[in-house]
């Protein structure tokens, strides 16, 4: 069985939802649910958080994650590519065959989802470079437009001549999936040799329902609270900061 490490990105500079990775959700910081699910999955040699902040690092360690070093600031901006921090973390850890990126913004992705993804990854083996979580898109790109000034716009995608996508019912459109942030697993060589997090041979991992739910906007916390009964169980006592709010 290949060895693997779980990598949890948690930079402190979120712009749309400041401090979201450690913001309390149902009694624990958001990041706690991903750390708990990664441990419970039982497939990782290490569960590691990559952060640029001391506060986040302290909270991550409280919930049982490793933080071998803070992420350098040049790898922690809103425009920094993921491969930078992934390569940085991998240099700090014993070599593993594969890595999983588990983003804290997907708190409903539990241990069972991670195990299902891992089994799929191992089954496909070296025929692929990585797997990535996807779900059917709700807003089809065939109905998207590029606006040119105030008067004209053109379809984002090339349109069939006989019946354009934008004039069809959703059910008559080609199936399209959109990635979500719940799960990515790749062979380590993809990062260390090809300097990407996905490679070129990417297999789909289909999520269902709340598995793919991501907290990206302020109102998403309220939606998550409404479904708190579906969150992974966190066995660790609440961190003092979360308990005080």
Same domain, 142 and 125: no
Distances (CA, A) of 9 to 88, 107, 174, 181, 202: 12, 13, 34, 11, 21
Using the predicted structure, report yes or no on whether residue 244 has a pLDDT greater than 60.
no
Same domain, 59 and 26: yes
Same domain, 127 and 150: no
pTM, whole model, 2 decimals? 0.93
The verdict on residue 78 lying in a domain is yes
- pLDDT tens digits for range 18-62: 889 999 999 999 999 999 999 999 999 999 999 999 999 999 999
- Higher-confidence residue of 179 and 16: namely 179
Beta bridge partners of 49: 8
> Domain containing 8 — which CATH number?
3.90.550.10
- State the pLDDT at residue 242: 67
Using the predicted structure, report yes or no on whether residue 203 has a pLDDT greater than 70.
yes
- pLDDT tens digits for range 126-167: 999 999 999 999 999 999 999 999 999 999 999 998 999 999
Query: Residue 15: pLDDT band by 50, 70, 90 thresholds?
Result: confident
Q: What is the mean pLDDT of the chain?
A: 95
Using the predicted structure, report yes or no on whether residue 245 has a pLDDT greater than 60.
no
SS3 state at 143: helix
Please give the tally of structural domains in the chain. 2
Same domain, 130 and 148: no
Same domain, 54 and 104: yes
Using the predicted structure, report yes or no on whether residue 226 has a pLDDT greater than 80.
yes
Same domain, 105 and 131: yes
Same domain, 128 and 201: yes
Same domain, 91 and 208: yes
Same domain, 181 and 232: yes
Domain containing residue 163: 138-175
Same domain, 39 and 100: yes
DSSP 183: E
Same domain, 161 and 125: no
């Amino acid at each position: 069985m290949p060895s693997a490490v779980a990598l949890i990105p948690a930079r402190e500079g979120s712009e749309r939802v400041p401090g979201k990775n450690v913001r309390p959700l149902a009694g624990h910081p958001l990041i706690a649910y991903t750390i708990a699910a990664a441990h419970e999955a039982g497939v990782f040699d290490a569960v590691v958080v990559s952060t640029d902040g001391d506060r986040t690092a302290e909270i991550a360690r409280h919930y049982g994650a490793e933080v071998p070093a803070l992420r350098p600031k040049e790898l922690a901006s809103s425009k920094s590519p993921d491969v930078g921090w992934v390569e940085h973390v991998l240099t700090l850890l014993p070599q593993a065959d594969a890595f999983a990126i588990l983003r804290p913004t997907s708190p409903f992705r539990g241990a069972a989802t991670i195990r299902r993804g891992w089994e799929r990854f191992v089954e496909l083996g070296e025929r692929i470079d990585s797997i990535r979580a996807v779900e059917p898109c709700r807003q089809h790109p065939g109905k998207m437009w590029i606006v040119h000034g105030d008067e004209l716009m053109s379809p984002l995608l090339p349109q069939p001549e006989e019946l354009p996508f934008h004039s069809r019912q959703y059910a008559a459109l080609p199936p399209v999936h959109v990635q979500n942030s719940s799960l990515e697993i790749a062979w380590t060589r993809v990062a260390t040799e090809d300097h990407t997090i996905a490679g070129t041979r990417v297999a789909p991992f289909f999520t269902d329902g709340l598995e793919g739910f991501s907290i990206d906007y302020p109102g998403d916390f309220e939606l998550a609270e409404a479904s708190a009964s579906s969150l992974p169980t966190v066995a660790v006592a609440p961190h003092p900061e979360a308990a005080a709010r």
